[in-house]
Structures are given as C-alpha cells and as structure tokens.
Structure 1
Amino acid sequence: MLLAQPQSFCAGVERAVQIVEAALARYPHPVYVRKQIVHNTHVVRDLAERGAVFVDDLDEVPEGALVVFSAHGVSPAVRAQARRRGLRVIDATCPLVTKVHAEVRRFAARGDDIVLIGHAGHEESEGTLGEAPGRTTLVRTVDDVARLPAYEGGTAYVMQTTLAVDEAAEVVAALRERFPGIKGPGSDDICYATTNRQEAVRAVAAESDLLFVIGSPNSSNSLRLAELSERAGTPTRFVEDVGDVRLADLAEAARIGLTAGASAPPALVDGVIRNLRGLGPVEVVERRVAVETTTFNLPKELAAR
C-alpha cells in the first residue's frame, strides 16, 4: 500500500473542528453550526452526537443563541443577518478563505470587475461572491472565460482555495489572454494543503494499480484528488470509509494507493489499512512530498483562559 503524504486533515479543518469541540465544552447546549462545519459526514455525525445542531439557515437558530460559522466562510449578508437576530457568533472560517475575502474587498474598493474561479453552489464560493456581488462573476472553465463580457475598466481574479491546481492554471492563462491587464492575488489562493495533497496523489498514482480517495461527495478538495488520479490513468475509487471498499476492486491490484481529502479524519485512513490487513499481509510505504507545520490559533472567544 502506497500512502500519500500529506493527506487527511489540514490546519483549517483541524481548527474548525476544535472550535466546535471547544464551544461544546464551554457553552450550554445546543451549540448551533451554520452548514456543515467541514464537508465530511463522519465529522458532522460525531459532533451532532455530542450536542452540535447543524442548520442550513440562520432562521433555524433561536434569537440570541450561539452559532458557529463553518470553515468555508460566509458572506457579509449572513453576518448582518446574525447581528439582526442577536446571535452570538464564533467564526470558524479558515484563515486562508478569509484572505480571499479580503482580496475581493480590496479589488472592489479599487473599482475592479472581479472574476472568481470556483464551483457554483459551493459554500466557499457563495461566501466569497457575497463580498462584492455586483462586481464578481463566477467562472469554472476556459469556456466560461470566453463568455465573460468585455470589461471596460480594471479587472482582477481570485480563486476558491480547493481547486485542482492544473485546471485553475488553465483558467488563469485564459483570463490573462482575454484581459492582459488583469490583476491576481498577491499570493496563491489555492491553499497549501490542497496543493500538497494533489502533489502527493501524483506521486502515488504513477506507481499504483488502484487508488482509493477517502472523502465525502460534497468535499471539493477530495473530489479534485480523485479527478487528478483518474486523469493520470490510474483506476480510482472514491470512498467515504472502509464500508465502500469492495473486494472485487482489489482482485488484480498488487499496489494500492491511498489518500484522504483535507476534511477526512485520519481514523478513516487507519480503518482502511486495518481492514485490508485482515485479508493478508500488507506492506505500507509512505510517499511524502511535503511536511506541513502550519497551525491556526482558535478565535479569542475560545482562547485558553
């Protein structure tokens, strides 16, 4: 078994989960969470069993109650709604998503038309679009770029943090060709964890007869890992946990690659390895492309006293 490294939780996901855990330990229940704190059904189920109540809209939260915003970020309109309803807010937005929001505000303040490269309907994209809804247009593909209007003033672009690096680069190249003066972010919007996990999958896919990607179907970064492996020509199975691993898939595979999206708990990886060892001897070999040392502090409401 070839184990891609890094894999599983990133610093932003760890922080978001820790925020809900700390809120559950410190404040009376229930603790409300707007949307899934991270896109993983196992994480959400575990926190719900411990007293978190997940809601799709703030209207479902009683006035004055405590609510946690998910790691994907929210629009200014959502923050305003929380203030109107007197909600106590703890913000679990990943700091790297917050950076993208700040870029949109900066570009909008200069009067630029802004292009957001991202996926329609994803919570991160919706929150980012909400920073300057009258000035920001969402694109996903090179064809989308071709359909953009001929902007007369300044233009700028930002990205969803969990995109496939190579595909995003193609869209940026198309934007630069269409709008030669377009401005981009000061540093990459695609986060370090997304980039590292994609590089690790490239390293493992090239050596694997079969590759498993652990993640939930609504996890953008996990889906990108599976797509990357498939584009490399490696048979790929997207699974939520060991229960989705089929014996028939293993029949002709001597070298199996394994990775997990940034929102998937490490225990799910351990579960797959443990169960495969139940079938016979398994040698686990790591393929590490980076060592991650990034950490993010908890918000002031939950800082150690």
Structure 2
Amino acid sequence: MPVASLSSIETSSANKPPLEVLICAPRGFCAGVVRAIDAVEKALRIYGPPVYVRHEIVHNKYVVESLRRKGAIFVDELDEIPDTQAPVIFSAHGVPKSVPSEAVQRRFFAIDATCPLVTKVHREAEIHHKRGRHVVLIGHAGHPEVVGTMGQLPAGAITLIETVADVETLAPPADVELAYVTQTTLSVDDTAGVVAALQQRFPQIVSPHKQDICYATTNRQEAVKRVAPQVDAMIVVGSPNSSNSQRLREVAERAGCPISRLVLRAEDIDWSLFGNIRSLGLTAGASAPEVLVEEIIDAFAERYNVTVESVSTADESVFFPLPRELRDQAAE
C-alpha cells in the first residue's frame, strides 16, 4: 500500500474547515464516581468474579459494559441474586433502608458504594425527621438517588417536589415544622427558584447547613455557563439516564448555545447538526470517562482542522476513600 506523502497530508488538512474546540474544566468523573467504580474493580481484584452490583454502579453505559466484561453482574433488585458469598455492591446513587436490611437477612457480603455526598443528604433527612420535621425533597421522581433518599424515612414523612408549581400545591401536615433537602445532581438555577418559592411560602422552613447539590454538579454547570455563549454548538458526553449530564445540556441551552446535544460516544453524533459550525464546546457529565471525550475530539478532527483550548472555572481535589470493607482487605 503506498504511503501518503507529507504534501498530500498537508493538503488534506488544509481542505478541512477550521474548528475551535473549547473544552470545559472541570468535566467528567467526580470523586463519588471514581470511588464507586474503584469499589467494583477492587472487589473483583480481591475476591474474583462474580461481583454483584445493584443497579448501574454509575449512569454510564460504557462504564457498566466495561465492568460487566470484567465479571460484574448488574441486577435491578437483590431477589435476582442467588444465595452467594460473593460481594454485593450498592450503587453510588444510594439505596432505601430496606435494601441493606434485605442484604442482612440474606447474609450477603454487602458493600455500600453510595457517594458520601448522597449519604450526607440521607443523614440530614433522618435528623430532620427525628426532630419532628416534615421533610420536603427537591428532586426528579423515579431517579435512583431520589428513591434512596425517600427510602430513609417512613412512608408519609417526606414529600417529593420537582418544580415551583409543585410548591404552590404542596400541602404539608398542619402544625409541623418543615425542612428541605435536595437531590445532589440538580440544575443549580432551577433549584434556586424552587427553594426561593419554598422560602416565600414557608418562611420558617429549615435549610441545609450547606447546599445539597454537590460540588461536581455545581462546578461542571459553571464551566458550561462560561463556554456555552462563546460557541456555535455544545456537546455533553454522558448517558441519557444521567441526571447531571442532562442538566449540563439544559444549562448550555439556557446560556444561549444554538445547538446543545447529549451524546454517549462519537458514533452517536448526528453530523447533520454540526456541518457549518466554527466553534464547539465540549464537556462531560460526572459519570462519563475521559476516553469518550477524547474519542469525540478525534471524530471531529477527522472532519475539521481542530484546535483545542481548555476553559477552567475551578480546581477539584476532592477524594473519597473506598468503602471500609475494601480498604481493610486492600491493606492486608
């Protein structure tokens, strides 16, 4: 096969339209996601396959399939797991109290990979309940994190709301003090509006000591707000069922970006949308690995003469240690 000459490569490059890629920083994996994935991989390394995982360890198909190839078995509920001495890991999103209770009854070797920032919300809700308060949870119905948080308290002790309109129709128990907590992966701006409506209608409602939306969600949204007004299009790398990734796409859209799309990986790009752009913003949800960001840059480089510039709005140095069961084993 003849080798292309340098001059032909240069001509090919010269024929490509220019594209400036502004890549958001921070992006991609957060400390809670790293901890959860490491927990599965460490368990596989220590105990060997299979390792059972209740729900997707994080919301990213690429990550889940990678762990499945290594021997992880993902289930929706514990009743799908046979009697076993293999590790059973709870996902980063957290679980209702009924799940660890069932694991104890079945004598499973359970490892809780819930993100510590989600656990913080669980503890807040429990403290409010013990102090006689009715808890209002701001979040998205059906999301695993919301299911887990609501499952920390008895039925009727917590009410889920999603929007400002929900605040208007909220009917909490009479003569009971109120407190609110939030899902960790919400839109910062949307949540601020819901909180403002809550505080206006219920001035005595108790707020979290520190906001529940996690640092990673906040930082990634701030970076998108900086980049989105400067580019013709924005791609968010992430899975459709990833709440924080969906919020990044919405943030880009609201910040004035004409084209804002959530893409799992390069093969999912609809190239008809990107034919005439001269600038592209690129970020990744907190459960999306950097390899998928690089894959998308490479795909654009095949069609454009790409230059890449990083736009940073925060430095992240947060680290969460592995669950204790795995730390002890790793030390041995």
Residue type of the alignment partner of 1:142: V
Residue type of the alignment partner of 1:109: K
Shift of 1:178: 1.2
Post-superposition Cα deviations, 1:216-268, rounded to whole Å, max 9, x if no partner, equal 01000000000111112311111110011232222111010001100001100
Q: How does 1:186-197 map to 2 (within 5 A)?
A: 186-197=209-220
Post-superposition Cα deviations, 1:187-240, rounded to whole Å, max 9, x if no partner, equal 110000000000000011010100001110100000000011111231111111
Please name the residue that 1:182 is paired with.
205
Rounded to whole Å, the distance in 2 between the matches of 1:134 and 1:83 is 25
Please name the residue that 1:120 is paired with.
141
Rounded to whole Å, the distance in 1 between the matches of 2:88 and 2:72 is 10
Shift of 1:64: 3.8
Please name the residue that 2:63 is paired with.
43
Please name the residue that 2:252 is paired with.
229
Please name the residue that 2:15 is paired with.
none
Residue range with higher mean Cα deviation, 57-66 or 85-94? 57-66
Please name the residue that 2:294 is paired with.
270
Shift of 1:150: 4.6
Please name the residue that 2:315 is paired with.
291
2:49/2:70 contact within 8 Å kept: no
Please name the residue that 1:212 is paired with.
235
Pairing 1:149–2:179 present: no
Rounded to whole Å, the distance in 2 between the matches of 1:186 and 1:164 is 19
Please name the residue that 1:71 is paired with.
92
Cα distance, 1:52–1:150 mapped onto 2, change above 3 Å = closer
Post-superposition Cα deviations, 1:115-146, rounded to whole Å, max 9, x if no partner, equal 00000000000000011132100000011111
Secondary structure class of the residue paired with 1:283: strand
Rounded to whole Å, the distance in 2 between the matches of 1:46 and 1:135 is 39
1:64/1:85 contact within 8 Å kept: no
Rounded to whole Å, the distance in 1 between the matches of 2:233 and 2:281 is 6
Shift of 1:75: 1.0
Residue type of the alignment partner of 2:161: V
Residue type of the alignment partner of 1:163: L
Rounded to whole Å, the distance in 1 between the matches of 2:205 and 2:83 is 44
Rounded to whole Å, the distance in 1 between the matches of 2:264 and 2:89 is 25
Please name the residue that 1:134 is paired with.
156
Rounded to whole Å, the distance in 2 between the matches of 1:79 and 1:155 is 28
Cα RMSD (Å): 1.0
Rounded to whole Å, the distance in 2 between the matches of 1:162 and 1:184 is 17
Relative to the length of structure 1, the TM-score reads 0.98
Relative to the length of structure 2, the TM-score reads 0.90
User: Which structure 1 segments of 5+ residues have no match?
Assistant: none
Please name the residue that 2:26 is paired with.
6
Please name the residue that 2:269 is paired with.
245
Rounded to whole Å, the distance in 2 between the matches of 1:62 and 1:28 is 17
Pairing 1:54–2:74 present: yes
1:118/1:159 contact within 8 Å kept: yes
1:117/1:160 contact within 8 Å kept: yes
Residue type of the alignment partner of 1:255: S
1:5/1:288 contact within 8 Å kept: yes
Find 1:28's aligned residue among 48, 73, 91.
48
Rounded to whole Å, the distance in 1 between the matches of 2:320 and 2:216 is 13
Please name the residue that 2:303 is paired with.
279
State the structure with more CA Rg.
Answer: 2
Secondary structure class of the residue paired with 2:148: helix
Pairing 1:90–2:111 present: yes
Secondary structure class of the residue paired with 1:107: helix
Post-superposition Cα deviations, 1:8-36, rounded to whole Å, max 9, x if no partner, equal 10000011000000001111321000000
User: Which structure 2 segments of 5+ residues have no match?
Assistant: 1-20
Residue type of the alignment partner of 2:246: L
Rounded to whole Å, the distance in 2 between the matches of 1:183 and 1:91 is 29
Rounded to whole Å, the distance in 2 between the matches of 1:150 and 1:119 is 19
Please name the residue that 1:161 is paired with.
184
